[in-house]
Amino acid sequence: MKIRTDFVTNSSSSSFLLAKKGEGEISKEGRDKLVDLLVGQFLHLTPVDGVTAVNIAEHEYFGYRNEAIIDKGKKALENGFEIEEGYVVYDESDYQLSNLVEKILEILDDEENYTVVDGDLSW
């Protein structure tokens, strides 16, 4: 159990302790897990169906966007990219951020050069 002995403000923050060895290098597997976590958990990406370089200006996801964004999207499609939509849920941001940090700490705790000393963000 954590006990505060210093001044406590009415803050919505929480702390954690992480021990790092050397420069804190992260393995390729660890980096891949972090990228997958950030893209999957944080970006909420979903494919935008039906958009092509030909119809992009009229597509529902691009019809209200400016010409520079439409041109950039068209160029991306012409170069073999697929368009995906992401969003940020501001109403749940405190929970999402706390959940994200907990998962990052779990990934780092599995790394050779990191040890989570205290990862409890529940208070």
- Say if residue 111's pLDDT is above 80: yes
pLDDT of residue 3: 56
Q: From 93, 86, 103, select the one nearest 34 (Cα to Cα).
A: 103
Segments forming the whole domain that contains residue 94 = 19-45+88-118
- Report the amino acid identity of residue 19: A
105 and 51 within one domain: no
Same domain, 36 and 93: yes
Is residue 9 situated within a structural domain? no
pTM beyond 0.75:
no
* pLDDT for 4: 53
Does any domain span residue 100? yes
Highest mean pLDDT among 11-25, 38-52, 69-83: 69-83
Whether residue 53 is found in the same domain as residue 28:
no
Asked if residues 114 and 108 have their Cβ atoms less than 8 Å apart, the reply is yes
For residues 80 and 52, state if they share a domain. Answer: yes
| pLDDT bucket at 120, cuts 50 / 70 / 90 | confident
| Tally of domains in the chain | 2
Residue 63 pLDDT > 60? yes
User: Is 114 within the bounds of a domain?
Assistant: yes
**38 and 92 assigned to the same domain:** yes
Q: What is the predicted pLDDT for the residue at 7?
A: 47
Instruction: Establish if 109 belongs to a structural domain.
Output: yes
Same domain for 53 and 80?
yes
Does 14 fall in a domain? Answer: no
